[in-house]
Amino acid sequence: MPAKYITLNAKDGSGSYTGYLALPDSGTGPGVVVIQEIFGINTPMREICDQLANQGYMALCPDLFWRQEPGIQLNDKIQKDWDRAFELYQGFDVDKGIDDIQTALSWLRKADGSNGKAGVIGYCLGGFLAYLSACWTDADAAVGYYGVSIDSKLDEADTIKGHLLLHVATEDEFVDKAAQQAMHNALDNHPRITLHDYEGMNHAFARPGGTHYDEKAAKKANDRTLEFLKTRLG
């Protein structure tokens, strides 16, 4: 399975940024933009790309923090890295981040071997951006794992033209019960959105090696994701 870093040009002409690209052995397939947590394109994000490539997807993880600190890779087990991650999160421009995701989607659609379809998968901050990608980009499919702040943008759901799958951790330390209920109230009856709750799970339950990792819940979520992508992207 080949993997490499590529260069993408920002939509606003302000510069260029890198992305980690993993390709299936066949060299062909649908595209998936993997949207980072607050730790940059670190080992877990690259491993997700590699796993998706093994499933037949062209997986691209763009560096969304490049405007603040290009190429950053942080470790969730180190406190100073946590502190830096939250600084980057607080300084992140969501609108420009969505522009960068759209650029990555467009790149994948035009890449050699692409079937012309492209979706997104995001985690934590990336889960929020996956939701917004469903609303604001041309993604054919979007998957969000324990996305934060989705309840602040529920009025955007009517703009979704593709399909969206959200994985919700019921004991998420960053998404309280009121926010979860607001999400269900607004989205449960949307014809293009599916929400799955994971009872007793905390934030980042699907990150291998993480503090709250749960193998059984992660497998259930990942299996649902793969079935969803197969249906929506091919």
What's the Rg (C-alpha) of the chain?
Answer: 16
* Amino acid, single-letter form, for residue 224: R
* Amino acid, single-letter form, for residue 201: M
Q: Distance (Å, rounded) from C-alpha 62 to C-alpha 224?
A: 24
CB proximity list for 219: less than 8 A, separation 6 or greater:
none
Residues labelled as active-site residues: 172, 203
- b or e along 145-174 (b: 16 or more beta carbons within 10 Å of the residue's beta carbon)? bbbbbbbebbeebeebebbbbbbbbebbee
What is the DSSP track for 191-233? TTEEEEEETT--TTTTSTTSTT--HHHHHHHHHHHHHHHHHHH
Are 10 and 98 in contact by the 8 Å Cβ rule? The answer is no
How, if at all, do strands 58-62 and 16-22 pair?
antiparallel
